[in-house]
Structure 1
Amino acid sequence: MTIVINMRRGLDKRKLMVAARLIREGKLVAFPTETVYGLGADALNERAVRRIFEAKNRPADNPLIVHIADFEQLKELAQEIPKEAKLLAERFWPGPLTLVLLKAENVPRVTTGGLDAVAVRMPAHEIALALIRLSGKPIAAPSANISGRPSPTTAEHVAEDLYGKIECIVDGGETRIGVESTVIDLTERPPVLLRPGGLPLEDIEAVIGKVRIHPAVFGKKTDVAKAPGMKYRHYAPRAEVIVVEGSRERVEAKIAEVVEELKRKGLRVGVIGRESYGADEFYHLGETVEEVARNLFRALREMDKRGVDVIVAEGVEEKGLGLAVMNRLRKAAGYKIIRV
């Protein structure tokens, strides 16, 4: 049985002590962050961390992100803290930024996907921070969903995938950003963007200078995943996804054409974007890139509920959060992309 703790009205430390005790006991707790819901366990408890992989059906070489509530905890997890890490943490923590550093000896390899590096971030969410502090543990937490599925931005999404498989879900309402954290590898020179996310690359480069973008961000296959979302198919609904990207006018014309063609084949078609283009189902993602990011995973899950066969997704410009949105859409589509 899974306990659901309702905190939609805000942090209640008395209630949260139940979840904190479960973390200390080696159990699994789903909790909200500013990005998506995480599935948490004591990052230094090897048995507990293995249960995360089992519950999610997650490949063992897909590393986890360790969540902390205090910069001092980083010293317990990393061999060394380079100056770039201090600068970025000072500027952006708590926030949607994950730093990859050489791991300390006490961090189990199961937590890092077998790598010598550990991914760490400090979430900007009062419930997440309180859970870490009350448990007294750094918390390893990937997204709280079945691996490969769209990430959860509500407790209901978590329950759809994991109810009965984990001990507790802390319901803190809908997440604010809607896409996962940005991951920067500081074990390389220059630093490398491993995954675009809730913090735009432009903001990071304004602090530490030029950052190289890993080819996996744009779909090139990689044998080693130094961050979540690099190696395997992610964020995918059950329906087929097709992404149409390019100039706005051409994209609009092409989506209308694709929708008409698919419907002629007898398929039930959904569109996620700014307009319906004659589709059977439509989800308006929003007018700003921030709204699109916030609504993206909810839209993909909603289209599955509506029973569509194909989802046609309208691309956005790859600036700011747009880089993260397009990374998620392309992966959800298995790189079935129409460029116009």
Structure 2
Amino acid sequence: METEVLQLKSPTDPEVIEKGAMIIKNGGLVAFPTETVYGLGANGLDPKAVAKIYEAKGRPSDNPMILHISSQEMLEELVREIPKEARDCMDMFWPGPLTMIFYKKDLIPDKVCAGLDTVAIRMPSDPFARALIQASGVPIAAPSANTSGRPSPTKAAHVLEDMAGKIELIVDGGPTQVGIESTVLDMTVDPPMLLRPGGVTLEDLKELLGDVDVDPALLGGKPKEVLHPKSPGQKYKHYAPKADCLLFAGNLKNVAKEVNKRIKENPNKKIAVLATEETMDLYTEKPYLLINMGSRDHMEEIAHNIFNSLRECDEEDVDLIFVEGFSFQGMGQGIMNRLLKACGGKVVLGL
């Protein structure tokens, strides 16, 4: 299969929308930009089309997907009930980077939900994504458009690297805005439970809803044994670069001191350090690759750059990656969730 790449001439380029919608309607796969990361989309009501996503990604069959919708009316057709708290979240955060889990209606194939009675749904804020869904006339099942387990794609080039020859079309809408996947909130329990942090923070949710539980394994680095995960990212290793990755948490000067020591101890290794604006000058033992993820005063910038930084390490074929840690507050929670999984739970604490 030859994969076509089309660049958007406008956020709602009619020619690209028409072509993408035709592929979706015919049971094919389209990679497209959202505000979070690039998604790999198929008709979410067609089990054969959804099966192609699993095949293209090499995705485990018990890892559920997220359905993307273009209107609240579409949601009514897909779920059995919408709690008041969910409607409040829709009013505040939709369209945007919040996924909510509901009890599904029977028209949603088991393949989308990995056999569960629940379905994860969100309405993206990206104008192209919503226009594609509307033109397709169906909810679009769309996990991240990468090989399963690799860093998520925030640029069309990342998608092409993983999906060339496996899918019909990649829509190039430039770099994504948020850079990490959506927040996932389970609305089938009381109080609602945060299953994955993202662009909508726990603090945002608590301010609106009051009481919000947090999955106790949410920030655990090593994958937990979850028999039936409700949300993508709960069961399997995610976001991992090719090289071994180690996360350092603590006082920033001590972190840099420890990293400098380890660089010196490994003179024959190609080492990458993922640092920040505030710490770049602290690395006196210069690594093979020193990447500035952004300023700690602008955590959205760091979230935007994480996956691109990890993929840059892959491109440079490094042997080791050392990454600075962050606070678990606000957007830092989503950042640390991704970094812990990328590092497979390998953390140097107490510095």
TM range (shorter): over 0.9
TM-score (norm 2): 0.94
Q: CA deviation at 1:107?
A: 0.7
Letter in 1 for 2:179: G
Q: Does structure 1 residue 262 correspond to structure 2 residue 270?
A: no
Residues 161-209 of structure 1, C-alpha deviations (whole Å, 9 max, x = no match): 0011001111100000100000000111111110011111100111111
Q: Within 5 Å, which residues of 2 pair with 1:283-302?
A: 283-287=291-295, 288-302=298-312
Report the Cα offset of residue 8 of structure 1.
Answer: 5.5
From 253, 276, 287, the counterpart of 1:249: 253
Aligned partner of 1:258: which letter? R
1:214 has 2:215 as partner:
yes
1:273 is aligned to 275
Equivalent residue runs for 1:118-129 within 5 Å: 118-129=119-130
- The alpha-carbon deviation at position 10 of structure 1 amounts to 2.9
Q: Is contact 1:101-1:117 (8 Å) kept?
A: yes
Aligned residue in 1 for 2:31? 30
Residue 206 of structure 2 aligns with which residue? 205
How far, CA to CA, are the matches of 2:11 and 2:100 in structure 1? Answer: 28
User: What is the aligned length?
Assistant: 338
Give the AA of the match of 2:287.
A
Q: Which piece of structure 1 moves more, 63-72 or 12-21?
A: 12-21
Moved more, 59-68 or 250-259: 250-259
CA distance in 2, matches of 1:17, 1:282: 42
In structure 2, C-alpha distance between the alignment counterparts of 1:9 and 1:79, rounded to whole Å:
37
Secondary structure of 1:111 counterpart = helix
Contact 1:8 1:171 in 2 (8 A): no
Structure 1 residue runs of 4 or more that deviate by more than 4 Å after TM superposition? none
> What TM-score, normalized to structure 1?
0.97
Structure 1: state its 5+ residue gaps. none
Structure 1 position 129, deviation (Å): 0.5
Residue 31 of structure 1 aligns to which amino acid in structure 2? F
Structure 2: runs of 5+ lacking an equivalent:
none
Q: CA deviation at 1:216?
A: 2.4
Q: Once the two structures are superposed, what CA deviation does each residue of 1:27-83 show, in whole Å capped at 9, x if it has no partner?
A: 000000000000000111000001100000000010000000100111111111010
**The residue matched to 1:110 in structure 2 has which SS?**
helix
Match of 2:342 among 329, 332, 336: 332
> CA RMSD of the aligned region, Å?
1.1
> Which of 316, 322, 330 pairs up with 1:320?
330
SS of 1:215's equivalent in the other structure is: coil
In 2, the alpha carbon distance for the partners of 1:8 and 1:215 equals 44
1:65 matched residue in structure 2 = 66
Matches within 5 A, 1:10-159: 10-159=11-160
Q: For residues 193 and 272 of structure 2, what CA distance do their matches in structure 1 show?
A: 36
Mapped partners of 2:164, 2:99: distance in 1: 27
Report the residue type matching 1:314 in the other structure.
Answer: E
Q: Identity percentage over the alignment? A: 48
Q: SS of 2:323's equivalent?
A: strand
CA contact (8 A) 2:219 2:336 kept: no
Matching residue of 2:321: 311
CA distance in 1, matches of 2:194, 2:266: 36
